[in-house]
């Protein structure tokens, strides 16, 4: 079977986003499509029976049709309506427009638990990507699909996904790759531990010699939402920000103020204003990372401080000792100014404490909006402890190889660099410093990153690792003359959905 690189589709599904791209190029490109992994259903389109007897109250206090037995948080509800069809659901730009117009919608995130909670909703998302955004035609669909999905899915899930793509979308070929494997491939390694920081939780996946060690997989109920809420709480000490967003003469409600601060923090990390110190340590406890911004603004010094902090001195002017001292003082302030909701806000170095809750969850105690979904299966552990325990569950002779591949990924790493180094500095206690030297004794660890030679990915950190690894894999398997690593139409005709199991070593 001959497959053209230009026709190959990469489709990466995570818990909260879906990324896709068409074609494999000389320089592997970043995804051209990225949408939230959610669907919307107009409430007025529901049958009368659904709107009366089948309504329950979800965690948001809103009436919605009976939900699945999902453990998804209220931030990413999973709602099933048995009578809904694929064409009833709004996806992507269609959903965005309906929300902007204030339509009464039921929102659901079918992949929020790492599986598929509603197959009709999943099909609606995939159909939108293939036929609306990528402009494929079902009747003459010549595109094979490399599908990346969270690890841990069952055989039945693999088979049903395969069935949907062949029978509903008429794809030319199909292969499934587990996301942690794709992420590690992007770092040019076959052994390591993938730490995927998501919105609500962080997935930890040890991989040895190209195989996920499933019994060691775990997760921590900490993610970007908790880090965002934490910095939002720190900004409450910034009187300049508080007076601008919630002036004493017209204060916002607690909920509205929290929403505004969260949006401000999200803007800060998306605009690359948050950094992790190079030594891997976060702000010193005695420093607190918070300064009296209001006093600086009132004194009229913030403009001069920021300008001096951003502009380098003319190379021809030799700075005096006083100038050098002043530069060090300004650098220590680390101030920036951002435009937010028609306000010009001055922010200090408290913003750099964004990742602290990952390493010390006790910081979230009493923080508004930072509730976690910890339970007996997934307790609230510091990230370094969870990673260390996961690797310690490997066979002893596997650990040295896995410690040589610490790979931190997730959307957060597109904008905040150095989290891997910060994690490594806290994992030292899990690598013995004994003088005993043998082949199975871990003596060091190494942080991995997406290599610089992937030109299109140089500015994206590790955030697109799953898409890059999927693209690399697609180049290999769809150009394999034997065709043993993907399911062709002929294979599907002969064997049905079960054909996908033979191409997935982890399921054999």
Q: What are the structural domain ranges in the chain?
A: 5-185+457-507, 188-221+377-449, 224-361
The pLDDT of residue 371 is 87
- Rounded to the nearest angstrom, the gap between the alpha carbon of residue 415 and the centroid of all alpha carbons in its chain is 11
pLDDT computed for residue 376 by the predictor: 78
pLDDT at 110: 96
* pLDDT for the residue numbered 463: 95
Q: In the chain, how many H helices and how many E strands?
A: 17, 18
Of the candidates 188, 185, 164, 189, the one whose C-alpha atom is nearest the C-alpha of residue 174 is 164
Residue 237 to residue 86: CA distance in whole angstroms? 48
CATH code given to domain 5-185+457-507: 3.30.420.40
- pLDDT the model gives residue 176: 95
pLDDT score, position 288: 46
Rounded to two decimals, the pTM is 0.85
Angle of the 321-333 helix axis to the 302-310 helix axis, nearest 10: 100
Handedness of CA 20, 22, 23, 28 (dihedral sign): negative
Strand partners, 219: 203
* Three-state secondary structure call for residue 236: coil
Q: Where are the alpha helices (DSSP H) in 22-118?
A: 48-52, 92-100
Backbone dihedral region for residue 210 (phi beyond 0: left; psi -120 to 50: alpha; all else: beta): left
Residue showing tokens 């702000």: 283
Query: Residue 113 has what DSSP assignment?
Result: T
Triad 27, 29, 35: Cα angle to 5°? 175
- Tokens representing 72 are 């998804």
User: Dmax over Cα atoms in the chain, in whole Å?
Assistant: 81
Burial class (CB in 10 A: 0-12, 13-18, 19+), 433: exposed
Kindly give the interhelix angle for 383-392 and 419-426, rounded to the nearest 10 degrees.
70
What is the per-residue pLDDT for 184?
97
Nearest CA to 131 among 143, 121, 120, 119?
Answer: 143
Give the pLDDT confidence score for residue 73 in this predicted structure. Answer: 61
CATH superfamily ID and name for 188-221+377-449: ATPase, nucleotide binding domain (3.30.420.40)
Q: What is the pLDDT along the chain (508 residues), one digit of tens a residue?
A: 568 889 999 999 999 999 999 999 888 999 999 999 999 999 887 766 455 444 333 333 333 444 333 345 668 999 999 899 999 999 999 999 999 999 999 999 999 999 999 999 999 999 999 999 999 999 988 999 999 999 999 999 999 999 999 999 999 999 999 999 999 999 999 999 999 999 999 999 999 999 999 999 999 999 999 999 999 999 999 888 999 999 999 899 999 999 999 999 999 999 999 988 654 444 444 344 444 555 555 555 555 555 555 554 454 556 777 766 656 655 667 888 899 988 899 898 899 999 999 999 999 999 998 888 778 788 899 999 999 999 999 999 999 999 999 999 999 999 998 999 999 999 988 886 555 556 666 778 999 999 999 999 999 999 999 999 999 999 999 987 777 889 999 999 999 999 999 887 666 5
Among 199, 283, 302, 284, smallest CA distance to 241 is for 302
Helix, strand, coil share (%) of the chain residues, nearest 5: 40, 15, 45
Tokens 């690399």 belong to which residue?
A: 472
Per-residue confidence (pLDDT) for residue 59, from 0 to 100: 38
Pairing of β 55-57 and β 63-65: antiparallel
Buried b / exposed e across 384-404, counting CB within 10 Å, b at 16+?
A: bbbbbebbeebeeebbbbbbb
At 500 the pLDDT is 94
The structure tokens listed for 325 are 């001292």
Identify the pLDDT of residue 62. 35
- In the chain the first and final C-alpha atoms are separated, in Å, by 25
């Amino acid at each position: 079977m001959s497959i053209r690189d230009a026709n190959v589709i990469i489709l990466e599904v995570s818990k909260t986003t879906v990324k896709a791209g068409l074609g494999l190029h000389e320089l592997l490109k970043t995804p051209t499509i990225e949408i939230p992994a959610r669907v919307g259903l107009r409430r007025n389109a529901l049958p009368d029976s659904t709107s009366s007897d089948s309504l329950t109250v979800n965690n948001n206090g809103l009436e919605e049709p009976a939900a699945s037995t999902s453990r998804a948080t209220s931030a990413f509800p999973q709602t099933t309506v048995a009578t809904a069809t694929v064409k009833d659901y709004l996806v992507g730009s269609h959903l965005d427009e309906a929300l902007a117009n204030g339509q009464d919608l039921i929102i659901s995130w079918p992949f929020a638990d790492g599986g598929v909670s509603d197959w009709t909703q999943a099909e609606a998302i995939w159909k939108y990507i293939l036929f609306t955004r990528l402009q494929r035609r079902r009747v003459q669909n010549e595109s094979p699909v490399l599908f990346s999905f969270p690890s841990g899915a069952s055989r039945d899930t693999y088979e049903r996904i395969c069935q949907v793509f062949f029978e509903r979308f008429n794809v030319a070929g199909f292969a499934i790759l587990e996301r942690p494997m794709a992420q590690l491939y992007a770092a040019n390694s076959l052994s390591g531990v993938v730490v995927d920081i998501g919105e609500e939780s962080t997935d930890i996946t040890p991989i040895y010699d190209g195989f996920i060690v499933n019994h060691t997989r775990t997760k921590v109920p900490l993610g970007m939402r908790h880090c965002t809420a934490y910095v939002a709480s720190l900004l409450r000490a910034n009187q300049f920000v508080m007076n601008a967003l919630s002036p004493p003469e017209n204060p916002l409600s607690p909920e509205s103020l929290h929403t505004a601060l969260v949006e401000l923090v999200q803007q800060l990390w998306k605009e690359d204003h948050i950094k992790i110190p190079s030594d891997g340590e976060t702000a010193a406890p005695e420093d607190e990372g918070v300064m009296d911004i209001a006093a600086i603004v009132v004194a009229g010094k913030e403009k001069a401080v920021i300008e001096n902090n951003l502009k380098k001195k003319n190379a021809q002017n030799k700075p005096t000792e006083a100038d050098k001292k002043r530069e060090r003082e300004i650098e220590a302030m680390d101030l920036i100014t951002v435009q937010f909701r028609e306000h010009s806000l001055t922010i200090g170095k408290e913003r750099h404490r964004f990742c602290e809750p990952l390493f010390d969850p006790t910081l979230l105690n009493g923080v508004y909006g930072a509730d976690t979904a910890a339970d007996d299966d997934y307790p609230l552990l510091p990230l370094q402890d969870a990673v260390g325990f996961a690797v310690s569950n490997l066979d002893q002779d596997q650990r040295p190889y896995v410690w040589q591949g610490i790979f931190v990924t997730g959307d957060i790493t597109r904008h905040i660099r150095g989290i891997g180094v910060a994690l490594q500095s806290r994992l030292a206690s899990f690598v013995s410093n004994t003088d005993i030297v043998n082949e199975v004794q871990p003596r060091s660890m190494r942080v991995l990153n997406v290599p610089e030679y992937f030109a299109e990915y140089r500015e994206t950190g590790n955030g697109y690792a799953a898409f890059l690894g999927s693209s690399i894999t697609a180049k290999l398997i769809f150009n394999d003359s034997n065709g043993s690593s993907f399911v062709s139409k002929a294979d599907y005709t002969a064997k049905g959905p079960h054909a996908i199991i033979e191409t997935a070593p982890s399921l054999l």
